[in-house]
Structure 1
Amino acid sequence: MHEVSRWPQPDSSPLRRVAGWRSPMSSQDQCDRIVFAAAHVVAKDERTVDWDATLKFRHHLWEHGLGVAEAMDTAQRGMGLDWPTAAELIRRSAAEKTGRICAGVATDHLTGEAGLDDVLKAYLEQLDVVQEAGAQPVLMCSRQLAATAKSAEDYEKVYGTLLDSVSEPVILHWLGTAFDPALQGYWGAEEVDQATDNFLAIIAARPDKVDGVKVSLLDADHEIGLRRRLPAGVRCYTGDDFNYPDLIAGDSEGYSHALLGIFDPIAPVAAKALSKLAEGDTDEFHRIMAPTVPLSRHLFSTPTYYYKTGVVFLAWLAGHQEQFLLLDGLETARSVEHLAEAKRLAEIAGVIEPEFAERRWQQWLASR
């Protein structure tokens, strides 16, 4: 098991020095927002996970008071991280947890043509792994279900059975086509308004089994409308990496919790901002968060599903890992110009130490 005593102390890493962060207040304890960072995996090569570095990064997130959303799309789920490796990742992370952890349940181990029963069986197999590991399940959207389902009733059948099977309330994940084009027509409708009605009907039938919904449609108005229609007690976790400060801060009618990929690279800054929100200082929360938004919008720019490249690039520039590598060689998915702009914006946002990052950047450019 990873030894906490071997980590750098809070002021010893370049990232923590620049963020000015003191060891966590826990934002989860003092702020009524529940916040998960969807964490990346550290690659040893294009096929192998560096387990020590990967787990060390999870402890970095917990240390800053954030929860870990494990084996989600930020971890290259469906884009380099296969189910056997994801299952091992979930077990390892849950065994070392020092804070909140949730984990993705999907059907990505299915091969060939699949019917609804096959999709349901695949979901249940992964659900067992997550529950046995002690992580909160996140029911992710299924490419196989999107390809198989013919109606809203098909989605209700699969999700209804899944919700009847869970031992604790789960998070339902609605991932938009910007993140995965194969999910077109999810929830049994092409139009977002009808899909929303279908989604809400599934939740309304079993609200006690749903802790919350994670919405990644990059549409703030839609998210606000959705969260106002959720049954009492069902949370909305924003997955909007474009508009997260306003959605987390909320309005007179409510607010969103968070499950965000951008919180992976900006964890210390986000935690500091959340501590101000917990104190009731909304203006300071926005002041701290504001410079992270241009960075996030850049990382998640089209094609959005390649945002993982920028996330790992910043982890490398911050000193969290020794190589700029992703599974399946995905470090090549973004241009040098894109990465240079990510570096510039990250410096402005205060999430990397400029001198340390510049040395690594120059070394990388020289090695190309």
Structure 2
Amino acid sequence: MSLVLDLPAADGTLSAYRLSGEPTPRPTSPPSFNRIAYAAAHVVSDPRKDSSPWGAPVIDWDATMAFRHHLWAHGFKIAEAMDTAQRGMGLDWTGAQELIRRSLNEARSVPGADLACGAGTDQLAPENTQTLQDVISAYETQIGFVEAEGGRAVMMASRALAKIAKSPDDYRTAYGEILRQTQNKVVLHWLGDMFDPQLAGYWGSHVFEQALETVLAIINDNRDKVEGIKISLLDNSKEIALRKRLPEEILCFTGDDFNYAELIEGDGERYSHALLGIFDAVAPQASKALALLADGETQAFRDVIEPTVPLSRKIFEAPTQYYKAGVVFLAWLNGHQSHFTMPAGMQSARGIVHYADIFRLADQANVLDKPELATSRMKSLLQVYGL
């Protein structure tokens, strides 16, 4: 029996939409990839206890950990406590510590499970930052916590550093001081201001070519402490420019949720590994595609992964920092959580037409794992909006 529902369009009209997608089968065991693939994972709020969602959001730890098992079962590593988990947009450093601790403990119970943990300076309000040492101390606290818990760090971009730094040399000083102290190699994170407007001018310049020189200098100064760098600028030409100039042993992780398919496949000489928020939402499809790529079935890889790209571009459309709402929306539609609420009430950051567009594109990309459930839940959301 076909599934049909009325969905709104941008002009205010409703039209019937008939589902056509087919759920992607689950792997019987975690597949192997020839690319390193991190899925940046979201957190699940607990609406039963969430009496102050803006001020003190409550996390449903059981559902949050269950979703990590879902990602591990598809062969992914997890990028924990990063911006997909609403760091700085509903999840503070106190909550991030609990998330990191729980996820590391959970990973130890799963053979082959792996994760890296976001470490930044979000316990330090940019307006209260006075000196470069304030930023360095904040990084020391967070990376020290991650490593003390037995984890590896992704060194997240710092709003406080973006505010206090006066020149590229300040970035080299701060990153150099931190990297000299780390026990393990870390992944650096170049997050564009489309994801966080407070990061405008990061690395000491608004000009990409100048920022690139600073990044490369930091990496070359600290090659024994840097595993790789994630670049999230939503511009494949900039990622390729970085990728070409990285030292051979330094990995490039794409964070480009617009162009990931071609960047992961590569150009015949170089390719990007992945650290992506969209893999949270399309885990079965991305897992299947990456397994095909590892088997040398390049066209089959494209056939599976490319239909997810229009969906990802919709989820990450401007204002891009609200992409988490689309990720959690799909987790709800696919039955990974029982509700569509988010820490800080961020589900309200997008409108019903946006969610209707995501529904259509998810169906067309075979991302709706339980079409009947997804249709029922979409209808209930439409009713909330009076449609």
Could you say which TM-score interval applies, normalised by the shorter chain?
Answer: over 0.9
Question: Which residue does 1:23 correspond to in 2?
Answer: 28
Aligned partner letter, 1:88? E
Secondary structure (helix, strand or coil) at the match of 1:251 reads: coil
Q: Secondary structure at the match of 1:96?
A: helix
Pairwise mapping of residues 5-84 of structure 1 onto structure 2 (< 5 A)? 18-27=23-32, 31-45=33-47, 46=53, 47-84=57-94
Aligned length: 349
The aligned counterpart of 2:193 is 177
Counterpart check, 1:95 vs 2:105: yes
Counterpart residue identity of residue 253, structure 1: E
Contact conserved, 1:180 with 1:305, CA < 8 A, in 2? yes
Secondary structure of the structure 2 residue equivalent to 1:320: coil
Quote the Cα distance in structure 2 between the aligned partners of 1:176 and 1:114: 24
TM norm structure 2? 0.89
Distance 1:171 1:129 in 2: 16
2:118 is matched with which residue? 104
In the TM superposition, structure 1's runs of 4+ consecutive aligned residues that sit over 6 Å from their partners are none
SS of the residue corresponding to residue 383 of structure 2 reads helix
User: Offset at 1:77?
Assistant: 0.4
Alpha-carbon separation, structure 1, partners of 2:78 and 2:356: 28
Q: Does the residue aligned with 2:279 lie in a helix, a strand or coil? A: coil
- Contact 2:190/2:231 (CA < 8 Å) preserved in 1? yes
Could you tell me which amino acid in structure 2 is paired with residue 104 of structure 1?
A: G
Which structure 2 residues correspond to residues 159-170 of structure 1 after superposition, within 5 A? 159-170=175-186
Letter of the 2:379 partner, please give it: Q
Contact (CA 8 Å) 2:34, 2:293: kept in 1 or not? no
Paired residues of 2:311 and 2:365 also in contact (CA < 8 A): yes
Q: Give the Cα separation in 1 of the matches to 2:313 and 2:382.
A: 24
Counterpart of 2:19? none
Aligned 8 A contact 2:30 2:73 in 1: no
CA contact (8 A) 1:262 1:296 kept: yes
1:1-368 alignment, distance < 5 Å? 18-27=23-32, 31-45=33-47, 46=53, 47-97=57-107, 98=110, 99-111=113-125, 112-352=128-368, 353-368=370-385
CA shift at 1:171, angstroms? Answer: 0.1
Q: Deviations over 1:316-349 (max 9, x none)?
A: 0000000100111101110000001101111111
Higher relative helix content: 1
> Of the two, which has the highest radius of gyration?
2
Question: Shift in Å at residue 362 of structure 1?
Answer: 1.2
Q: Which amino acid in 1 is paired with 2:41?
A: A
The residue number in structure 2 matching 1:8 is: none
For residues 71-121 of structure 1, give each alpha carbon's deviation from its aligned partner in whole angstroms, at most 9, with x where no partner exists.
100000010100000011001001111312011111000132331001000
Equivalent residues of 1:25, 1:275 under 8 A apart: no
Q: Which one-letter code corresponds to 1:66 in the other structure? A: F
Measure the CA separation in 1 of the matches of 2:150 and 2:63.
Answer: 22
Unaligned runs of 5+ in 2: 1-21, 48-52
CA deviation vs aligned residue, 1:225-262 (integer Å, no higher than 9, x gap): 11110012100000000000100011122100000000
Select between 308-317 and 105-114 the one with higher mean Cα deviation: 105-114
- Counterpart residue type for residue 171 of structure 2: Y
Task: State the alpha-carbon separation in 2 of the partners of residues 333 and 233 from structure 1.
Answer: 40
1:116 touches 1:148 (CA, 8 Å); kept in 2?
Answer: yes
State the AA in 1 paired with 2:372.
Answer: E
CA contact (8 A) 1:299 1:307 kept: yes
Which residue in 1 is equivalent to 2:17?
none
Q: Distance in 1 between matches of 2:366 and 2:146?
A: 35
Shift of 1:289: 0.4
CA RMSD of aligned residues (A): 1.1
Give secondary structure in 1 for the equivalent of 2:78. Answer: strand
C-alpha offsets along residues 267-317 of structure 1, whole Å, 9 cap, x if unaligned? Answer: 011000011001001110000001100000000000000000000000000
* TM-score (norm: length of structure 1): 0.93
SS of equivalent residue, structure 2 residue 39: strand
Q: What letter matches 1:42 in structure 2?
A: V
Q: Which amino acid aligns with 1:91?
A: R
Q: Percent identity?
A: 52
CA contact (8 A) 2:129 2:135 kept: no
C-alpha separation in 1, matches of 2:180 and 2:214: 18
Take 2:28 and 2:141, find their aligned partners in 1: how far apart are those partners? 38
